[in-house]
Amino acid sequence: MKEFMYFAFKNTKFKIGLSILLFFLILATIGPYLSHYKDPLEYVSMSNLPPNKDNWLGTTTFGQDVFTQFVYGLRSTFFIGLFGGGLATIIGLLIGFIAGYKGGWIDEILMMLTNILIVIPTLALLIIIAAYLPYRGIGIQSVIIGLTAWPWTARAVRAQTLSLKSREFVNLAKITALPPLKIVLEEIAPNMMSYVVMVFILQFAGAILAAVGLDFIGLGPTRGISLGLMLQYSVLWNAIQLGIWWWFIPPGLAITMIVSSLYFLNIGLDEIFNPRLREE
């Protein structure tokens, strides 16, 4: 751990990624307390005001405060990344572990399912599921994203498990009659920890982008606000034509920065965990 911290704080990519991410995380946490308004959907001001003293990021066509929407939207974004990405990681890990460790027909069936789901575009699946749900919250949205995003993780984890399970320390554990679950948890999993962390980060980013896509085509949460919904409303109400840039720039910029900070974090971690990739 100490060694990890040492290399982590020498790695520029890791530091940049982490600071951007922390900045938005803090903004999402304390933002709602900073804002003058409590309800992101409440009509509080004149419509289409550019950024000013009271409305830090201006107002929408309906006179809603963009800053308030923005900070609440950030919360939804982190929520979906955490739960949607987390769920996808867990399912992918389980299926990958089981398929790789058990082998045989279990492997065949699980990989068949994985290959089928890889070909079907996730968004198409999300659309068909989300379109029939009359009420959607960000919780349900994260669940359906998690349930559809796991296949490539499963495939990668399976490959890793396959390569690990033929190592000597695993054979040793088998000889000592350790139950399979224990072997997976105590012998194989720790060797994959760094990999799991990186998979989670990528799934986190993927879930955020998937949610934005869903929100934008009208399948976002039916209540509340999210960054994707802000983009959808701004386009639906002609913010582009009217030049209300303060409505659509902040949410898209925040998503871009969060997702790229996650990517930076990921390559940074890759370099930290893998000594061969370290600079100099």
Residues that bind another protein (CB under 8 A): 112, 115-116, 118-125, 127-129, 131-134, 152, 205, 209-210, 212-213, 216-219, 231, 234-235, 240-241, 243, 245, 248-249, 251-253, 255-257, 259-260, 263-264, 267
107: tokens are 């492997």
CA dist., res. 204 & res. 176, Å (int): 38
Nearest distance, CB of residue 124 and another protein, angstroms? 5
Q: Where are the alpha helices (DSSP H) in 40-188?
A: 66-102, 104-119, 122-131, 138-149, 151-165, 168-175, 180-182
Nearer to another protein among residue 133 and residue 172 (C-beta): 133
Q: Using the minimum distance from each CB to another protein, give the nearer residue, 47 or 115.
A: 115
Of 91, 130, 135, which is closest to residue 113 (Cα–Cα)?
91
Q: Which is nearer to another protein, 44 or 149 (CB)?
A: 149
CB of 272 to another protein, least distance (A): 17
The residue (of 166 and 241) whose beta carbon lies closer to another protein is: 241
**How far is the C-alpha of 176 from the C-alpha of 254, rounded, in Å?**
52
For the bound state, the minimum distance from the C-beta of residue 100 to another protein, rounded and expressed in Å, comes to 17
> What is the smallest separation between the CB atom of 178 and another protein, expressed in angstroms?
33
> Which of 83, 26, 75 has the alpha carbon at shortest distance from 204?
83
- Encoding tokens for residue 227? 């960054």
